[in-house]
Structure 1
Amino acid sequence: MTAQTKPFSVPTVDVDTAFERYEAIRVRLPQPTFPRESRQAGTLGDVADDFDVFILDAFGVLNIGGRAIPGAVKRVAELRAAGKRLFVLTNAASYPRSAALAKYHKLGFDFAAEEVVSSRDVAASALLDVSDIELWGVARGPDPDLSDLQAKVGTLETDRTLFRNADGFLLLSSASWTPPLQEALVAALSERPRPLLVGNPDLVAPRETGLTLEPGWWAHEAADRTGVVPEFYGKPFTNAFEAIRGRCPDIERLRVAMVGDTLHTDILGGRAAGFASILIADHGLFAGRDLDSYIARSRIVPDIICRTT
């Protein structure tokens, strides 16, 4: 059973299913080149001299759920003390960036507001450039605050008339998304194609119950069935990385390292932006799995593989 023949309706999937789905939609992702093999290291401290800027994913690099990865708070402090510039780049778009910043502070990290960039921020900026959309239908998730979008919006989860009346759609969260809502979106796009923007390109996200389906999953499924090509904002697409690049324009690109736990978002996206890529192996998506087999199957090769942050 594939997305091309029948809509997905399962609430969670396993790592192999997610990996295969990423490979199936690979044509819609950036197409960078990769090194022939990865350099091995223990921690980010072992490679600190090679880079001036570290772009850090959150899950699998800074934290696992509601706890910081052992040693991560200290490592971030050490990198900062060594004069490294630090940024957090997250595809979490269910909440405004201020909520993400508060979470990191609670975990013990000292990031400033300007050091955190979310895919929601990038999508919100894009809305300002679209002048012919009067009303957006938004999949917002649990947070009712959409004031950061600076556009006329309505919530798809609570107002079904938006599927008919909205001039475009924006998927920020799938926390409240259901198969009936997905069917309504597909029907609306089939009847009258409209822009479909995605503020979280991730296909899945790790939760306590498994890998939940994220906005990217549903957007690709809608594209398979309607032919409407979504516009993605966030990793692995270069718009997210350029938002950070604009804050350190004088740094040589290969002196910037994207650090993450996923191949198809963090590593692929970092390389597509012209940055070096570092995969954290012992936490996150591939923890406890045969990482070499996934690298061989995808041919997405990190510049460096670190065991931990």
Structure 2
Amino acid sequence: MTPDQAFDRYEKIRDRLPAAPQGGDGIQIAGLHELADQIDVFVFDAFGVLNVGERPIPGAHDRVQQLREMGKQVLVLTNAASFTRAQTEAKFSRLGFEFAPSEIISSRQVCEAHLASINPNGQWGVIAPPDFFPDDLEVDALALQGDQNDYDQVQAFLMLSAAGWNADRQTLLRDSLRRTPRPLVVANPDLVAPREDGLSLEPGFYAHELQDQLGGQVIFHGKPFASVYETVERRFPDINLNRIAMIGDTLHTDILGARARGWRAALITDHGLFAGLDVHKFIDASGIAPDWIAPSI
């Protein structure tokens, strides 16, 4: 999928995304240090902001450290739901970032906290990466692959990752949900993610395809949906929300979700979804405008 195709798909599902006020001013800045007098909490997306695939973005380490030295709070808010908490922490360590465990919030972590209330006693069919272990979750879990009986026997579905997912398995899931509607929970609402070799299809892509075909509601945890932003806000109960800034590379997830919560938002343009493109074209077409635009953090 190309960036233009991804943008068009986001626009087609716009009515399923949170509503937000009119966009910000889109002021061009050289880097986040220019916002020190306006922002107290900097919340970073990962892909396209801190790293691209397994590569840290040049200058990202130094900027995070500079913000710390300015007395700012820094957090990571990532939709990467393939990893356990320990794996997520190890990933950022490998990339050279010195984030404390409490500074990393993943959509999977938030999602897992809601599973028991959705399907308290039944088994979950999990769409997960190949190295997934059912014991990684605190619910009764079964990894779904190519056996139709597995899809039909579970009481709810959880989509963590699209790694290894394919059209045949998507059909098995769709047909099983058509026969017996059950909850579908998605811990990564992204349609695509930037990699070294292009954009990968993510769980949100497949979930919205199912919603197109079957109707009904999918339960999403992750940007731009409220539960992950609420998790951040609980860390800072006394802060004015317009002193929190989301730093991301996508309009329909990072920027839209933040503005729907009353946060400020900075769009990073040189490394993620809009790398090499005229971002203003997409801002004008969507009406989603950040408060600031920077080439890198």
Could you state the TM-score of these two structures normalised by the residue count of structure 1? 0.93
1:102 positional shift: 1.2
Distance 1:172 1:109 in 2: 24
| Amino acid in structure 2 at the alignment position of 1:203 | L
| Amino acid in structure 2 at the alignment position of 1:303 | D
Query: For 1:78, which of 50, 66, 87 is the aligned residue?
Result: 66
Deviations 1:195-229 (A, max 9, x none): 00001100011223321211101001011111131
SS at match of 1:161: helix
1:49 positional shift: 1.8
Aligned equivalent of 1:33: 21
Determine if contact 1:73/1:109 at 8 Å carries over to the other structure: yes
| Amino acid in structure 1 at the alignment position of 2:92 | Y
Query: For 1:296, which of 281, 284, 290 is the aligned residue?
Result: 284
Aligned equivalent of 1:251: 239
Query: For 2:197, which of 173, 196, 209 is the aligned residue?
Result: 209
Determine if contact 1:133/1:168 at 8 Å carries over to the other structure: no
SS at match of 2:75: strand
Query: For 1:195, which of 175, 183, 187 is the aligned residue?
Result: 183
RMSD between superposed Cα atoms in Å: 1.3
Q: How does 1:208-247 map to 2 (within 5 A)?
A: 208-247=196-235
CA, structure 1 residues 133+198, in 2 after alignment: closer, same or farther (shift >3 Å)?
Answer: farther
Name whichever of 185-194 and 31-40 sits farther off.
31-40
Determine if contact 2:124/2:154 at 8 Å carries over to the other structure: yes
Could you state the TM-score of these two structures normalised by the residue count of structure 2? 0.96
1:27 positional shift: 0.5
How many residue pairs end up in the alignment?
297
Aligned equivalent of 1:10: none
Percent identity between matched residues is 48
Query: For 1:62, which of 50, 56, 61 is the aligned residue?
Result: 50
Distance 1:301 1:242 in 2: 22
1:308 positional shift: 1.2
Determine if contact 1:94/1:142 at 8 Å carries over to the other structure: no
Does residue 1:139 correspond to 2:134, yes or no? no
Unaligned 5+ segments in structure 1 are 1-12
1:242 positional shift: 0.8
SS at match of 1:88: strand
| Amino acid in structure 2 at the alignment position of 1:87 | L
4+ residue stretches of structure 1 with deviation over 4 A?
A: none
Determine if contact 2:194/2:200 at 8 Å carries over to the other structure: yes
1:148 positional shift: 4.1
Deviations 1:1-39 (A, max 9, x none): xxxxxxxxxxxx111111100000011000111335312
Deviations 1:232-287 (A, max 9, x none): 00000010111111111111100000000100000001111211011012221111
Unaligned 5+ segments in structure 2 are none
Deviations 1:160-205 (A, max 9, x none): 3221111010100010111011001110111111000001100011
SS at match of 1:197: strand
Determine if contact 2:119/2:155 at 8 Å carries over to the other structure: no
Deviations 1:62-105 (A, max 9, x none): 11222211111011001011111111000001111221211211
1:149 positional shift: 2.4
CA, structure 1 residues 248+145, in 2 after alignment: closer, same or farther (shift >3 Å)?
Answer: farther
Aligned equivalent of 1:5: none
Deviations 1:93-150 (A, max 9, x none): 1111221211211222110001101111111001122254511100011232343421
Query: For 2:267, which of 276, 279, 282 is the aligned residue?
Result: 279
Determine if contact 1:196/1:228 at 8 Å carries over to the other structure: no
CA, structure 1 residues 57+277, in 2 after alignment: closer, same or farther (shift >3 Å)?
Answer: same
Q: How does 1:115-130 map to 2 (within 5 A)?
A: 115-130=103-118
Distance 1:158 1:17 in 2: 29
